[in-house]
Amino acid sequence: MDSDGRVDLPALRRLVARLCAADVDSIGLLGSTGSYPYLPREERRRALEAAIDEAGGRVPILVGVGALRTDEAMRLAQDAEAAGAAAGLLAAVSYTPLTPDEVFEHVATVARASGLPLCLYDNPSTTHFRFEPDLVIRLSRLPGIVAVKSPGMEPQAVAAHLAALRDAVPAEFSLGYSGDWTVTEALLAGADAWYSVVAGLFPQVATDILRAARAGDADEARRLNARLEPLWALFRQHSSLRVMYACANRLELCHTAPPRPILPLGAEAQAQVAAVIRTLDLR
């Protein structure tokens, strides 16, 4: 997007085409790395329509529909359903901390009003609300609630989290995780999906890890993950959002800056990003 928050559609189409060519399983549009909370409804609709047109049915698109108000999230989900999105990603976005019952009603209302399949987006570091297993289980039994995107966890924690959910949710309900530097162990523990930041620009390095894990080759999956530790370190130090903006600019995939008040990385951090791209041969 430009400094006024207008989506750069040609640049977005290039990114979508790049992902389609990499044969990814799905594309996550307007997630946290896509800076969705900073975009008004019309810009989110423009982005969605362009992405779906570019994908041309080759790859399903999951689109962020989170918003502060339930009625606004309903309208965004209705837009997504009308445009042909495969599913919506719904976070418990709020200024006032929400209760589990409030989140349950919020999700149920958006699902009922839109008819769009929804993935719960558990992002407590941003929303300050955590989808505890009992709430995920309750929601998984509602029509249209098809998946959960849980935050990254340490290996023992993710194994326990999966165990708490696996036998209590419907068999077709997908259990996925984010937190790129922790996801390899989640995949090896039996997670269904990786909601990846790095794959948005570098799909091959992510799909290599995913395929090794799916094949049961734990040594190879861990080797590939360990190779990316310099990038994971930058994510942890500067945030994956800022690093991915710097990577996209460095590779000239687009020319943009994070939405203010978020500032681009400084010169020293930009040099670190350039060095990691060069060392890891990311492209």
97: left (phi over 0), alpha (psi -120 to 50) or beta: beta
Active site residue 195: no
Q: How far apart are CA 109 and CA 252, in angstroms?
A: 41
Q: Is 149 a catalytic residue?
A: yes
Q: Is 84 left (phi over 0), alpha (psi -120 to 50) or beta?
A: left
Q: Would you state the structure tokens that stand for residue 247, as one six-digit string?
A: 């990577």
Give the closest residue to 253 by CA, choosing from 13, 2, 22.
Answer: 13
DSSP string, 140-175: HTSTTEEEEEEPP--HHHHHHHHHHHHTTS-TT-EE
Active-site residue identified among 36, 38, 95, 149: 149
Q: Strand 174-177 to strand 193-194: parallel, antiparallel, or no bridges (unpaired)?
A: parallel
36, 38, 95, 121: which is the annotated catalytic residue?
A: 121
List residues with catalytic annotation. 121, 149
